[in-house]
A and B are shown apart, each in its own frame.
Chain A
Amino acid sequence: MSRISISLTVNGETKEVQTEPREHLADLLRGTLLLTGTHIGCEHGVCGACTIEIDGVPARSCITYAGACDGATVRTIEGFDDDDVMAALREAFAREHALQCGYCTPGMLVAARDVVLRLPDADEARVREEMAGNLCRCTGYRGIVRAVLSVLAERKKGA
């Protein structure tokens, strides 16, 4: 079985890791780097639980393989502590009861942050469309949609 050595920057730190080419990034982050905030929900790119940031944009870590990440910059839910938008989203998620079991939450937050930054004018229908790639089995989405909309509104007011 072949092993490869790759280098990637994770949450601001450069890491050299040994892995197998077939290992996907979610397993690498969770198993080798012990960043277990990234969750695995389907491994088919559908549910969005594994959504993280790769090279500055959200991506599915379950269908992105280790070799392809050599040289990449990765940010996981553990790497947003100094991020204003993430802080606002976390506050809004708690206020709007946008999470129950918490399993979809990290991926949901990474996707939501991208929506807030990329689509400052998004309305409810657009937010629902844009968040459709992240499944939640608990909340029925109302809290999630309201949380994202409330952060969009706050930022508009602040702008």
Chain B
Amino acid sequence: MTSSESGLGVGASLRRKEDARFLNGQGRYVGDITRPGMLEVAFLRSPVAHARLRSVTKPAGAESKVFTIDDFPGVGTIRANSALPGFRISEQPVLAKDKLRHVGETIAACVADSRAAAEDLAALCELDYETLPAVFDMRTATLPETALVHDHWSMNAFLETRRDDDVSGLDAIAAAKVTRTLKTSRQSMAPLEGRGVLAEWDSRLEQMIVTTSTQMPHVTKSGLADCLGLDEGQVRIISPDVGGGFGYKGILLPEEVVCASLARRLGRPVRWIEDRFEQLSASANCREHHYILTAWADKDGKLLGAECEAIVDAGAYSSYPFGACLEAAQIGSILPGPYVLPLLRCHTVSACTNKPPILPYRGVARTGVCYAMETTLDALARKLGITAEAIRLVNLVPPEAMPHRNLVGKVFDSGDYPESLRRAVKAIDIPAVRKRQAAGETVGVGFATFCEQGAHGTSVYHAWGIPFVPGYEQSHVRLSPDGVLEVRVGVHSHGQGMETTLSQVANEVLGIHPSKVRVVHGDTALTPYSTGTWGSRAGVMAGGAVAEACRQLSVRIAAIGAALLQVSKDDVVVEDGKVRRKDTDSSVSIADVARTWYRAPQNLPRDVDKGGLEITAGYRPDPDTGTHSYAAHAVIARVDTDTGEVVLEDYVIVEDGGKLLNPMIVDGQVLGGLAQGIGTALYEEMPYDEMGQPLAGTLADYLLPGSSDVPDARLEHMETLSPWTTFGQKGIGESGAIGPPGAIINAINDALASIGAEVMDLPATPERVLAAIHLAKSGKQ
């Protein structure tokens, strides 16, 4: 019996091991942890978007409880420099020094026995500053007369990138050309738990121990050590249960550096827990893109080329580790999407504005790029008089071309892209929609097809210039004397269920029951270094590393087991938690092997591997250009032309994530991503006014989709294995959030086609939809 047949290994929808503690209120998040003598921190934050800071006056009598940057002379700034040529360097002070560059920027830290009392102190501080014009619009940020966010720069741009294929001849040969101007809104990733930091200095170990809500503890450790001037061994990061990440918990925070500095200076543990107002108004945001996209096609809809002017609002600082340019710099490389695109001309700008830094949110740039490409494709189809399905089918990379290298050098590993669309077309009731349209209803159907590069490694990120390039991933496995397997990984699980799936991987290789596998993560002192959980990489990378470590351990277990069975190691197999003789049923358990190593070494074979039952193994897929999961989304949307309200009636996703390590968990990832994608498409928006003030400070203003806003989506899976990964699995964690805006806006535009209206900007709020309808109607008059 193989492990998957036992229903416990790779491919099993095993219930999650982490659920019991969460269901009983026993999860342990940063905010649940206290220390004796702990002080609470509240930050005095910038009330304005752009100003020259003249002075901060501490409250009389409380000077010793309020700290500005002058109180931390040795603390460095946060930097994340792109390796791409032309990058302009920003230095993010952990507490503002002489300039304020976005609302909510940290200015002073106030400590007290309670958070409320610390906030009282912050309210008593006095600020003297000279307000400067706010750079709030990325489209005008780079104009010459605009105020400079960083005084020594020549323009408000971190970076520009270009790809210059010659598209000048396409007008002459194309049957259709369309240009669309499209915008996605600035968003907050809004995990239910915000950030939070508890810092304490261990004088015995001379170590800064920082418990923090992060999805990449090791990278945070490196960044923190650098800012604090400590060596990396002097920083230990513990990331306990983390209440959702989505990219939000992937940067080094000024608050982390300040809390650590305070803990050192005060000799007491200090804690800061981000509240929702801080998260929405002061902390990093995501997703704000602007596109002018032109596409040319022949009469069948086959793409001849595309030209794109893209701007990403990267905010005021290049945040560590991803930097300010990750999104814009990859737009050119992901614009072709899953299609065969012969020519691409693309110019991108990472604009610098007086807003919080931008962070890669689930889907990163793909959500915006997919939105731009998919809506533009539909516009082409409408112009050519062909269907949305038809234009995609002629352009999708065909299965016989796999593996396929596209014009920008991306290598697609495997899959049948057109088949995913055909299945989605079959699953959604297009004839019913057409019938209702004929009867005058404003209802429409929309599609989006895309592929998602996941677990891409050194070769890809190096080219994108990000300062922290991922390489190999390690896992450490240790067989305990009682036969329990400890699996230590440097990635972090914060909802992805990796305590379960990695147990399944171990079970797949060693046959140890998942309940006897303990997955340890979230502590840099206990786990191998890792670039962390992001980029849809953990299932492939940590899954591969755990499998490799277990495989190597299996060889050592087999050798000891064979000795106990008094046969050659070639005559045994390790399976089902046992070492079994191939020729008979006699066996010893893995627990027996462990006991022998630890407690009865007299019984070990003479040539036993002295490394024992602990192994650290590394893994990298080969090639490391990434897996490509792909999907077709199909949605039916109804539009109320009186109010502009959009109702999603049906939603179908046909997804190929290669081998699914745990199908239940993969479904959960896709459905969760879908809800976030619906948020991007219809609800979520962090508006800024002309003073650079954020206008949504609560979840009553920043609307997250609720249970009645998300349809009961239908999911279908294809399972084309990736030829490059351990089990054929592909990264799929972000996929669900990529397709919805394109599919939904296409459905809305299909519904409005009879009116001639088209929605361009996200989210498609009732106000925007109605404005599009009114515009079309007034144009006709």
A interface with B by C-beta (< 8 Å) = 1, 20, 22-23, 30-31, 35-44, 46-47, 49, 76-78, 90, 93-95, 97, 99-106, 109, 124-125, 127-129, 131-145
Other than A23-B116, A90-B24, A143-B671, give 13 A-B pairs with Cβ distance below 8 A. Answer: A37-B26, A39-B29, A49-B192, A94-B16, A94-B19, A101-B193, A101-B242, A101-B245, A102-B18, A102-B27, A135-B699, A137-B190, A137-B672
Q: Which of B13-60 contact A (CB under 8 A)?
A: 15-16, 18-29, 31-32, 34
B192 x A143 contact (CB < 8 A): no
CA distance A132 to B244 in the complex (A): 19
Q: Which of B363-389 contact A (CB under 8 A)?
A: none
Interface centre among A46, A124, A127 (most CB of B within 10 A): A46
Q: Mask for B395-421, Cβ within 8 A of A = 1, else 0? A: 000000000000000000000000000
B interface with A by C-beta (< 8 Å) = 15-16, 18-29, 31-32, 34, 114, 116-117, 190-193, 241-246, 275-276, 494-497, 664-665, 667-668, 671-676, 698-700, 704, 706-710, 712-713, 736
A76 x B25 contact (CB < 8 A): yes
A44 x B698 contact (CB < 8 A): yes
- The total number of A-B Cβ pairs within 8 Å is 170
A141 x B699 contact (CB < 8 A): no
A122 to chain B, nearest CB (A): 12
B671 x A140 contact (CB < 8 A): yes
B710 x A103 contact (CB < 8 A): no
Q: What residue of chain B has the Cβ atom nearest to residue A38's Cβ? A: B25
CA distance A126 to B32 in the complex (A): 34
CB within 8 Å for A100 and B668 given contacts A22-B116, A136-B192: yes
B706 x A132 contact (CB < 8 A): yes
Report which of B241, B675, B708, B736 forms a contact with A102, defined as CB distance below 8 A: B241
B497 x A100 contact (CB < 8 A): yes
A78 x B24 contact (CB < 8 A): yes
Report which of A100, A103, A143, A145 forms a contact with B29, defined as CB distance below 8 A: A103
Q: What residue of chain B has the Cβ atom nearest to residue A22's Cβ? A: B116
CA distance A111 to B288 in the complex (A): 35
CA distance A1 to B242 in the complex (A): 34
A7 to chain B, nearest CB (A): 21
Q: What residue of chain B has the Cβ atom nearest to residue A143's Cβ? A: B668
CA distance A123 to B577 in the complex (A): 45
CA distance A109 to B26 in the complex (A): 14
CA distance A105 to B665 in the complex (A): 17
A103 x B276 contact (CB < 8 A): no
A26 to chain B, nearest CB (A): 10
B residues less than 8 Å from A30 (CB atoms): 31-32
Report which of B117, B242, B674 forms a contact with A140, defined as CB distance below 8 A: B674
Q: Could you list 16 A-B pairs, sorted by A, with CB under 8 Å?
A: A36-B32, A38-B25, A39-B192, A44-B699, A49-B192, A93-B19, A97-B665, A97-B668, A102-B22, A124-B712, A137-B675, A138-B495, A140-B672, A140-B710, A141-B706, A144-B707
CB within 8 Å for A139 and B193 given contacts A44-B276, A106-B25: no
A residues less than 8 Å from B18 (CB atoms): 102
CA distance A102 to B191 in the complex (A): 11
CA distance A41 to B244 in the complex (A): 12
Q: What residue of chain A has the Cβ atom nearest to residue B15's Cβ? A: A94
B residues less than 8 Å from A142 (CB atoms): 671, 710, 712-713
Report which of A40, A44, A77 forms a contact with B24, defined as CB distance below 8 A: A77
Report which of B16, B276, B497 forms a contact with A42, defined as CB distance below 8 A: B276
CA distance A109 to B665 in the complex (A): 20
A37 x B671 contact (CB < 8 A): no
B residues less than 8 Å from A103 (CB atoms): 27, 29, 191-193, 243-244
A residues less than 8 Å from B25 (CB atoms): 35-38, 76-78, 106
Report which of B114, B276, B736 forms a contact with A43, defined as CB distance below 8 A: B276
CA distance A143 to B496 in the complex (A): 15
Interface centre among B23, B242, B700 (most CB of A within 10 A): B23
CA distance A97 to B22 in the complex (A): 12
CA distance A105 to B245 in the complex (A): 16
Interface centre among B16, B25, B707 (most CB of A within 10 A): B707
A109 x B276 contact (CB < 8 A): no
CA distance A125 to B542 in the complex (A): 39
CA distance A145 to B673 in the complex (A): 17
A64 to chain B, nearest CB (A): 16
Report which of B31, B242, B664, B707 forms a contact with A40, defined as CB distance below 8 A: B31
B residues less than 8 Å from A140 (CB atoms): 668, 671-675, 710, 713, 736
B671 to chain A, nearest CB (A): 4
Q: What residue of chain A has the Cβ atom nearest to residue B245's Cβ? A: A101
B residues less than 8 Å from A38 (CB atoms): 25
Interface centre among A1, A30, A100, A144 (most CB of B within 10 A): A100
